[in-house]
Structures are given as C-alpha cells and as structure tokens.
Structure 1
C-alpha cells in the first residue's frame, strides 16, 4: 500500500494544519487531471506532463495524505471512495483559484481594470466626482472602488493594501509613503448669520478667540489644522462639539452652537456667513499619497499620472 510503504513521509499532527496546503497545492491539478481520465497516459497527453511525473506526483500525494486515492491496474486507475470525495473538494478549490486569477487579471487590465481610491469627506460632493468624470473621458472602462474617510484612517488602509491611492490633507510625510502636493484650499471662519462678525467680509482669527468652536474629531486632518491655526493666532479653541462631517458642523453653526473653520461649501448654506481669514494664512494643502515600493497596475498608474497632471487645478474655482 502506498501509505504503508512510505508512512515516514506523512505529516506529523503538529505540523499538518500549517503545512498541508503548501505541500498539496502543486499536485492538486495533476490529481484532478488523472482522476478525470482515470488513465495516466491520457492525462499526460492532455496536460502536457510526462507520465512519470504524474505517477510520482500521485504516489507522493497519497503518501502525504496517508490515504489511497486510486486503485491501479497498469496505466489505468480508478478512484477509491476516498479519492472520489477528495476530487469533489479539489475541483471546487481549483475553480475558486481560477476565479481569483480571472479577477486579479481583470483588475490589472490597462483598459478596464480597477482603482481603489480614498478621499476626504469634504472632497466627495464635487471634487472627486469631477475628477473621475474627467479621467474616464480617456479611460471609460476603468472601474473604481471608492472609500470616503478621514486622513489617518485612509493612510492606515493604504498601508494595509486596501487602497491604491488616497486624496488627503495634510499631505503626509512618512518614510513608507510617497506624497505629492496637488493644491491648497482656503479655509473660512463660518459664523451664524446673526453673529457679531456676520456683517464683515474679512476677519483675523484672533477675533474669534472667545468663541465656542464646533470642530471635527481628533485624528481628522482639518481638526489638526484648526488647532494649529488657533495656536498661531494666540489661543486654544474652546470646543463645544466634535463631529465627523463638515456639513454637520455648518448646520450646528447655523443653530448658534459655535463657529468653525471650514473649507468652502459646494452649495451655499442658509443661516451662516463665511468670512475670509486674513491672519494667520488659513489654508489646507491637498495631496495624493501612495505606498512606496508598492507595485501598481496600469489603471492605477494612469490615474495617479492624471491626478498629478491636475496639480494646481484640482479644486473647483
């Protein structure tokens, strides 16, 4: 018996679970071919593999499993009950591998592949839809997986390999990332329309030192910029609310809960006045980042090149 002849080659119980896939995988397609024909010669001709290679592979497979999969009579073989049960699972596994291979090939296709792209919440209303529309003029079949999140969360997903590129602020500076500045966006002091400053067009940020602020939560790039600008203006903001969406903050400003430093809205919101901040210079830089040394598919490379071509013209005017 094959398993009796070579029992010393069997996997030990302690190593079986971690090693079995690595050990068996190269032989599974051979097994399926021999099982399909129940004849080594015919399987050899179909697969373009020498008969001796197939025969040795089947013997080793049985040795490693410790189970007889075939009953042999010359070059003719027939599946044992164990072999038939094993074949059912092997065919499912090989079909899943083929589907996975088809999927990754499709994602890397230069004309119809996929780009996993992350961007800030404040970029989602107007900027990103316009970018994708413009890119697809020349790349109409490229598909996108889009993730909308705050900057630090997107960087984590970039490092985890879940994103190819992300549009973020501030522009990250880390040894494992490559980042390029694309544009800058002026921030405005947003106040209720009945606020003492609402009749002004311009304001120094220090004039809001005694106000309550509504801000994004810690970890958001815009929150860090708000804290830094207030510090530069000589005060620490008194925070009345921390949220996750800029438009939520605008609504709370309109309700009189406080003031906020925010980028311009895509659509003007009633109940608030947006003031130009003259000092300090209130802007946030927008950049694109990707993982250094991470292989990129043709569609990702094309979209990255497109984003870099929009440097200085990324945001709506």
Structure 2
C-alpha cells in the first residue's frame, strides 16, 4: 500500500500543487489528496504545509523526499533491467567469423550462449578478415571474430585469444618425423597459402620474413582445409592453425622460431548502438577472453 503513495508524494513535492500533480499522474485530484493524507497518517508526521491550493514541504517532508527519490530511482532501474533482459531474450545478431573457426569454435560459443538466451537468432557469415570489416562498415554485421585484430579509428577491436600456427608438411616429408622445427628450415620449400588479403596470408609472409626468407608460393587458396589437402598431396607446406579433426597424410610441427601465433579478436563499428541481443552476445564473447578457443 505504501509504494504507490510514494510516487504520489514525489509528484506533489515536485509540482507543489495537487491539481497539477494529479494531471501529471493522470489520477483524480480527490484520489491524490486522500493518498497524501493517508501517507501522513501512516508516518505520523506532516509532510506538507498547506497554503491555499499550494503546498510546501515541511522539514520532515524534505528529509523523506530524498529517500523516496532514491527508492523510486532504484525501482525504475530494476524495471529497466528487467525490460532489457526481456528484450535480450529474443532478436537477431548478425555475426561474422573466420572460416577456420566455423567447425568447432563458433558452434561451441553459440551453444554456450544460447543456454541462457535460447530465443536469440543468428545470421552467420564466414569470410576472411578484410571482407568482414567491409560488411561491418556497411552495417551488414553487428560483430565479427577476426585476425589480426583491426586497428582503425572507426572500429573497436578487442583481443580475445591467440592461436598457435603449425608448419604442416606431407606425411613423407623430410621433416615429418620431427615434432618441432624452426621456420627457417623450410626456406627452400614450396608453400601453399591463402590468397593476398587474408589475415593468415599476411601473418605467413611476416613470419617467413622474420625467419629470413620470402616464401615461394606454389598455390593460393581460400580455405585452410583445402590447403591441408594440397599439403597431403605433396604440393607444398603451409603455416596453419590446428584442425578441428586430424587430417591424414600430413604432419603438423610446432614452430619454435619465430613465435608463430595469430591473435583472434572481436570487432564492431565504433559508435553504433547495440540492440539488446547484440549487447548480450558482445558481453558474452568479451567474457571469454583467454579461453575463446578450444584446447
């Protein structure tokens, strides 16, 4: 019974006039007057000094008003939070990610997220980094997992994890019995790589340069598992992230020098307002920092 009277009291205190407060609250003036009288009776103190049709807060009323405003603000905050949670329970997220994350990483992330948000729908886009950035800027994607983490004034990029890259060689290759290798030991090999514009191609070129050579590219493709197939066929070697399922016909070697990793990050358009489901999924992904990728 006390809660609605608090809102009535705050409105009258703000307007210092019962008629104006009744109009603002859309209640009959008589109802509002009775509510104030009952509130004062319940508290045992006078909250207002009556001056004709106007009212002024008593010292007790001013003290009470400060607490009432805090209480009403907290109730409103709780209501907003519940509404946001309800809005986040449904809706759609346009989510982009690298091809290499499609078979294992992204399905596991979506399964974990939808355990708490079962009604959120997703539009999924697999592509290479630069193409996803273009779609972010065009408003076609809300979020994307990409590598390297973008550094541009119109984008926000957050590093989430790093992924080790391996030197993949044919099973009958001279290095195949090794577990570890320096990248310089593959300087004379033919490489199969992703096409220019792919983040992994840029990383491959940079690592080879750091190792003291420029890779001799025999084949260029658009998908990591296709490159593994080319390696298995004896057509070259490749720097690739670990496969979701081991591929027969190849050996995967740990690169000891230089440090062969790629950063995986989350990107979105700076200043773009998030819908509740996008905000919820963004918060979920950021909470996975350091444990985004499967072991």
> TM-score, structure 2 length as denominator?
0.71
Q: Partner of 1:198 in structure 2?
A: 176
Q: Please give the alpha-carbon distance, in whole angstroms, between the structure 2 residues aligned to 1:239 and 1:110.
A: 47
**Equivalence for 1:303:** 281
* Match in the other structure for 2:155: 177
Tell me how far 1:110 sits from its aligned partner: 1.9
Q: Secondary structure at the match of 2:158?
A: strand
Cα shift at 1:111: 1.2
SS at structure 2 position matched to 1:130: helix
- Cα deviations across residues 123-163 of structure 1 (Å, max 9, x unaligned)? 00000000000000000000000000000000000000000
Q: How many residues matched? A: 210
Equivalents in 1 of 2:225, 2:179: separation in Å? 21
Q: Which residue of 2 aligns with 1:159?
A: 137
- Tell me how far 1:109 sits from its aligned partner: 3.6
SS of the counterpart of 2:161?
strand
Shift of 1:219: 0.3
Q: Counterpart of 1:207?
A: 185
Match of 1:234 among 179, 201, 212: 212
Unaligned runs of 5+ in 2: 1-85
Q: 1:280 — aligned with what?
A: 258
Aligned to 2:196: 218
User: Take 2:140 and 2:87, find their aligned partners in 1: how far apart are those partners?
Assistant: 18
Q: Take 2:291 and 2:91, find their aligned partners in 1: how far apart are those partners?
A: 26
Per-residue CA distance 1:2-52 (angstroms, 9 max, x = gap): xxxxxxxxxxxxxxxxxxxxxxxxxxxxxxxxxxxxxxxxxxxxxxxxxxx
**What is residue 314 of structure 1 aligned with on the other side?**
292
Question: 1:292 & 1:144 partners in 2: Cα distance?
Answer: 21
Q: What corresponds to 2:67 in structure 1?
A: none
Distance 2:194 2:236 in 1: 13
Matching of residue 111 in structure 1 with residue 89 in structure 2: yes
Q: Secondary structure at the match of 1:302?
A: helix
Question: Whole-Å Cα distance in 2 between the matches of residues 306 and 152 of structure 1?
Answer: 24
The residue matched to 1:274 in structure 2 has which SS? strand
Name the residue aligned to 1:150: 128
Which runs of no fewer than 5 residues in structure 1 stay unpaired?
Answer: 1-107
Q: Distance in 2 between matches of 1:246 and 1:304?
A: 27
Please give the alpha-carbon distance, in whole angstroms, between the structure 1 residues aligned to 2:100 and 2:224: 7
Whether 1:250 aligns to 2:228 is yes
Cross-structure match for 2:103: 125
Partner of 1:305, secondary structure, is helix
User: Matches of 2:270 and 2:148 in 1, distance apart?
Assistant: 18
- TM-score, normalisation: structure 1: 0.66
C-alpha distance in 2 between matches for 1:281 and 1:110: 41
**Number of the residue aligned with 1:49:** none
2:237 is matched with which residue? 259
Alpha-carbon deviation of 1:193? 0.5
1:145 partner SS = strand
**1:208-253 Cα distance to aligned partner (Å, 9 max, x none):** 0000000000000000000000000000000000000000000000
Which secondary structure does the structure 2 equivalent of 1:314 belong to? coil
**Distance in 2, Cα, partners of 1:239 & 1:171:** 25
Name the CA distance, whole Å, in 1 between partners of 2:220 and 2:273: 38
Equivalent position of 1:84 in the other structure: none
Report SS of the residue matched to 1:213: strand
Structure 1 ranges of 4+ moved more than 2 A: none
